[in-house]
A and B are shown apart, each in its own frame.
Chain A
Amino acid sequence: MSAFDRRQFLQLASVGGAVYMSGLQGFARAADAKPATDDFYFVQLSDSHWGFEGAPNPDAHGTLPKAVASVNALEQAPDFVIFTGDLTHTTDDPRERRKRMTEFRNIVAELKVRTVRFIPGEHDASLDNGKAFKEFFGATTYTFDHKGVHFIVLDNVSDPGAQLGDPQLAWLQDDLKQQAPDARIVVFAHRPLFDLYPQWDWATRDGAKAVELLMPYRNVTVFYGHIHQEHHHMTGHIAHHSAKSLIFPLPVAGSQPKRTPIPWDPAEPYRGLGFREVEAEPAKAEYRITELPVQRA
């Protein structure tokens, strides 16, 4: 369903009854099963790499603010926004890292959304095991529940070897024990939990263990970042969706010898960059993804 349809639906739902009009039968059935107000949407942004300088993005200082402005311009505010890692570009200098996190936090503070959540990427967390990230953005693993969906945030970057680690896997297992087999579960992580392309380090060393723990649950969807492009993959019945970046796009896995950024195209600035809306229909355990550009034309 297009973003327009979603907004139209929400507008109609807000006046009551109109959800049953022609063309929205699918929603009408969902509304029969659960109140329409259970549907919601969130926005995923990823890989802004604040602090990056280089030819792949001549507007490195402007891209994130433009994306924030685009989110603020959405007709309805999302229920929440989540940044799925690599908020900042890595630096060996701990003071510079905190400076970049301060600047990033100040920019995203402009978001007109009540709830903004963060998870780290390896650029934020791998050189200090997440210390600076926690100072600025809080825990690197957590759960929350929202309108019938159980969200789980995993950290596969604070270990520089890109592992979840046994303690976190045990924590995940304990959390999942509290969930019904048909629970609506959404997982956020930075790196893919499956071996997308280990030749380019697009994997989590023990990600298969997390997928194995999730596998008994019938309604699981994973949203992640790291690979700077949209990608969709199934491990059994579990869907994995990666998001675009807000700094530079990367090539399709294995399409060229090196994992180097796709060059900036002056004729089409910001091409390959963007963010997404995810419209959740908990009653149907469905998530409709709409990709949006950094700036609307």
Chain B
Amino acid sequence: MPIDIDNGRTGRRAFVGAVGGLVLGSVAGWTLAGPQPRVIEVVAKKFEFVPGEIQVRRGEPVTLQFTAPEVPMGFNLADFNLRADIVPGKVTTMQLTADKTGTFTFLCDVFCGTGHEDMSGTLVVT
């Protein structure tokens, strides 16, 4: 299940710093913790998510890294009770470890313009 959402560069730096500290502080800890989550960059632009389909494996920890180049956007993955605001000029990160397989719709839940209601994508968990 998802564990964290960080908004903004400060949050991202804090997250990266924490991981860095883990690596530098203890090789054994790194081994136990496993590799860093795979980072998946997602751009929320008028009026689509790029990529529109995100593929992960069940139990695989991933970091979704969002940017919005134009206007404020939202990311809502209701089946995992996850959402985040995506603000231009900042990077928003979201940790996700999907605990169920299937195809799940995510959408923009911040009204962003004429194409807002078509702005959605799918998370495919295998």
Give A residues with C-beta under 8 Å from B: 90-92, 122, 126-127, 157, 160-162, 198-201, 205, 257-259
User: Once the chains bind, are A127 and B113 in contact (CB under 8 Å)?
Assistant: yes
User: CB within 8 A of A161: which of B85, B104, B105?
Assistant: B85
Secondary structure at the A interface, as helix, strand, loop or mixed, is loop
**What residues of A have a CB within 8 angstroms of the CB of B76 in the complex?**
198, 201
With an 8 A cutoff between CB atoms, is B109 at the interface?
yes
| Closest 3 pairs (CB-CB, A-B) | A126-B111, A198-B78, A160-B111
Secondary structure at the B interface, as helix, strand, loop or mixed, is mixed
User: Once the chains bind, are A92 and B105 in contact (CB under 8 Å)?
Assistant: no
Q: How far is the CA of A38 from the CA of B16 in the complex (A)?
A: 66
User: Once the chains bind, are B109 and A162 in contact (CB under 8 Å)?
Assistant: yes
User: CB within 8 A of B110: which of A92, A161, A198?
Assistant: A161
Q: How far is the CA of A161 from the CA of B76 in the complex (A)?
A: 11
Closest to A123 in B: B111
User: Once the chains bind, are A201 and B109 in contact (CB under 8 Å)?
Assistant: yes
**What residues of B have a CB within 8 angstroms of the CB of A257 in the complex?**
105
With an 8 A cutoff between CB atoms, is B114 at the interface?
yes
User: CB within 8 A of B111: which of A162, A198, A199?
Assistant: A162
Enumerate 14 A-B pairs (CB-CB under 8 Å) in ascending A order.
Answer: A90-B111, A90-B113, A92-B114, A127-B111, A160-B72, A160-B112, A161-B111, A162-B109, A198-B76, A201-B109, A201-B117, A205-B109, A258-B120, A259-B117
